[in-house]
Amino acid sequence: MTRIRTDLAVEAKEVYEQQNEGKIPGVQIEEYEEIGMKVTHVKIVNEHGEKSMGKPIGEYITIDMPEFVHYDKEVMDDVSKALAKTLSKIVKLDKSMTALVVGLGNWNVTPDALGPKVISKLMVTRHLKELVPDSIDENVRPVCAISPGVLGLTGIETAEIIKSVADKIKPNLIVCIDALASRKTERVNRTIQIGDTGISPGSGIGNKRMEISKRTLGIPVIAIGVPTVVHAATLANDTIDLAIDEIINQATKGGEFYNMLKSLNKGEKERLINEILHPYVGDLVVTPKEIDVVVDSISKVIANGINIALQPALDLEDINKYVN
């Protein structure tokens, strides 16, 4: 399969289907709706699926958010509830077990600040359960949180920080939130991916760091991500594809120029674009101009989704009393 620049399993699935015929070996796919939103459940079950998709064995669930989610409080709450419902199927904790939520990313860079912003809106309760147990509902689950920063700020691998904290507080589950990179512009800031295989911070932009997973930490890890950037080479490639498709539609069928365009190898074209652009822009990624507003709203959506999933005894109105 041609190497693609994406963190999303659903996009890896789409690319495989474009390049091959029939089902993807070792991969189970289910599509359904959750509170009016399209959900795609990709399950990689064996090594054949792992090789075909370029992703570890495990489950990847993608929620497509409505177009105007960032400007409509009611829609934001619906997305939070859909996320919570999806997470609740994966979270296997009773009320006495502790969850550690980790906001990955650099809080100084807006497209990468999603994780830290989610943490700032999260309902943290571990200290309350320990210090003032009589003042809090006994059904509230102990939740703690950390924003460890990035290697360039701390000089410490993020996974090393998380492991040190986890060794001390011994959580039963770790939930990581991170900004991702998408293959398609229409999925930027419009898609939430939930996975049970952990995460490698920075992998979507070619800056892969130490893996954060059950294999490295010894604790189940759920990763939640939203693509906030797309690669410049991807934009250039898609623009050229659109131009070629339009020219083909207008060219005389069967003519020499038409046959030349039809014979273009898209994989080779993508490789050529990357080679041409790299000396000038490197691994440039781009993000929408309204990213400040978008990250603020998405962080609220994800924080509430996690809050609802981790605190099933409370409804959203009760949770908002704690975090607002």
Q: Please give the average per-residue pLDDT across 258-269, as a whole number.
A: 65
Q: Is residue 2 part of a domain?
A: no
| Domain co-membership, 170 together with 225 | yes
Structural domain tally of the chain? 2
User: Which residues are CB-neighbours of 210 under 8 A, at least 6 positions away?
Assistant: 157, 158, 159, 160, 200, 201, 216
pLDDT digits (tens, 9 = 90+) for 22-77: 788 999 999 999 998 999 999 999 999 998 888 899 999 999 999 877 888 899 99
Find the domain containing 159 and state its range.
Answer: 9-233+284-323
Percent residues over pLDDT 90 in the chain:
51
Q: What angle do CA 144, 109, 195 make, to 5 degrees?
A: 50
Using the 8-state DSSP alphabet, how is residue 102 labeled? E
* Residue 116's CATH number: 3.40.50.1450
| Domain co-membership, 240 together with 156 | no
Using the 8-state DSSP alphabet, how is residue 311 labeled? -
C-beta separation of 69 from 209 below 8 A: no
| Domain co-membership, 81 together with 108 | yes
Please, which pLDDT band fits residue 146 given cuts at 50, 70 and 90?
very high
| Domain co-membership, 119 together with 150 | yes
Helix and strand tally (H, E) in the chain?
Answer: 13, 9
Neighbours of 206 (CB within 10 A): 12
| Domain co-membership, 133 together with 168 | yes
**Taking the model in full, what pTM does it have?**
0.85
| Domain co-membership, 122 together with 264 | no
**C-alpha 324: how far from its chain's center?**
25
| Domain co-membership, 105 together with 167 | yes
